[in-house]
Amino acid sequence: MTFFRKFTVIHVLIIPCCVVNYVTPEENVDIPSIAKYFNTKGRYEEVNPHLLKDILAVNTSILQPPSAQCQPFHLTAIIRHGTRYPTSKNAKEMQQLYNMVLHNATGEESWLREIQSQWRMWYTEDMDGRLVQKGVKELKHLAIRLSKLFPSLISEEKLRGGYIKFITSSKHRCVNSTLSFKAGLTELWVITDQDFDHAINDSVMRFFDHCTKYVQEVDNNSSALSEINKFRQGPEMRRVTEKMADRLGVQYSLITQDMADAAFYLCAYEFAIKAVNSPWCQLFDEEDAKVIEYASDLREYWKRGYGYDINSKSSCILFHDVFNRLNKAASENKSGQQVTEAVTVQVGHADTLLPLLTLLGFFKDNVSLNSSNYATQTQRSFRTSHMLPYAANLLLVLYDCGAGELRLQALLNEKPVTFPGLSDQQTSMPRYEDVKENYRELLQGCDFETECQLFKGPA
């Protein structure tokens, strides 16, 4: 069952406080040398470094329609929330690490003395994943960039006319990200005489909570993560914790894998939230960061990605929600009607996007990620640092190219990606009918209720 609640926009005063190119740390000493390995804790700018020079920069040439006649008439944007504070669990682990370093570390490095004498633990458990000011700005800026990239769709006229719809997860960081996206548009067009509702729909945006088979067989099943646990206890991760202990000047037994994670998160959060190269980052070199990134990717692979079939099938409800909307827009366009939903903005989580990307076949490697093939997976496609930074987004854009020909373009983080199975196309904008044929089995099946049902064996 789908539940909707309406909210009106809240106006807030903001006080200033898949080939991917990355920022080179040498270009900016304020960027940690390990920043491109922060997985789902990474900045959007590491995926789109040109935004460091101009946060509102867009390059319309990336769209490359096959002819000038092609005009967009519908956009669905599935967006991850912006930068957030640590969860209460993360904050608690970081506090434990900080206490250990204060009382036990004996190293003489200047960065360690800075941690012990100057740095203060300011993360608290009650922050619990709330959107930070950087996250507010990310969604505002994304809204403005998309309005520049698709000006005929994301326009003041379309917004005022009710042709732009907003749907969000109920989590505060997602609701506030939705409000921020809307504020980006209303501030751009100086709209002060009208509010714009959004709908909360957890059955679509937090489908993973409602899929019984997924919850019981994967999410709440510790044995489902056996590959992650084996890697965390293996030689690569052991070397990371031993090097960390050496740098701190403490016994190896004091540094657990959870403490290594906490230190890595401290470096990542300090950079994402405060834009500082924290002394905590000195605990890791690039090889350490690659190992921790792989451990995180293993978790995402087996918990949300290709590890188990139910991971992606749990997103069937979102898959059909998207294609039903695309089909409706295509039908309205074909009949000459006004497309009633020119733009749909859906705000959720990394855990919303990853199962859908997996279901669609993106970033699938020939060999599964496991605990023993770290050394051979250095060139893997499945890399959350590339795919799912804060404010990550999947855009699906329908074009009318004349003579009844419709085309669909997919963009991930504002860059075109090719639909798996359609790689022989000369364009990243294949015919919509070819896309539907490519996903025919999913469109005809992939029933959420059926896929998520737990079947009992014979008595």
Q: Which residues are catalytic?
A: 81
Residues with Cβ within 8 Å of 315's Cβ and at least 6 positions away in sequence, in order, are: 207, 208, 352, 355, 356, 358, 359
173, containing H or E segment: helix 172-188
Residues 229 and 214: their CA atoms lie apart, in Å, by 19
DSSP letters spanning 146-162? HHHHSTTTS-HHHHHTT
The encoded tokens of residue 84 equal: 């957030």
Spatial CA neighbour of 204 closest among 445, 438, 4, 416: 4
Residues 312 and 213: their CA atoms lie apart, in Å, by 12
Residues 34 and 272: their CA atoms lie apart, in Å, by 13
Residues 278 and 272: their CA atoms lie apart, in Å, by 11
Helices 257-274 and 286-303, interaxial angle, to 10°? 100
Q: Helices H, strands E: what count in the chain?
A: 19, 8
Are 248 and 255 in contact by the 8 Å Cβ rule? The answer is yes
Give the number of C-alpha atoms closer than 13 A to the C-alpha of residue 327, restricted to the C-beta side. 10
Residues 238 and 89: their CA atoms lie apart, in Å, by 23
CA separation (Å) from 343 to 164, 167, 398? 5, 11, 10
Phi-psi group of 457: left, alpha or beta (phi > 0 → left; psi -120 to 50 → alpha; rest → beta): beta
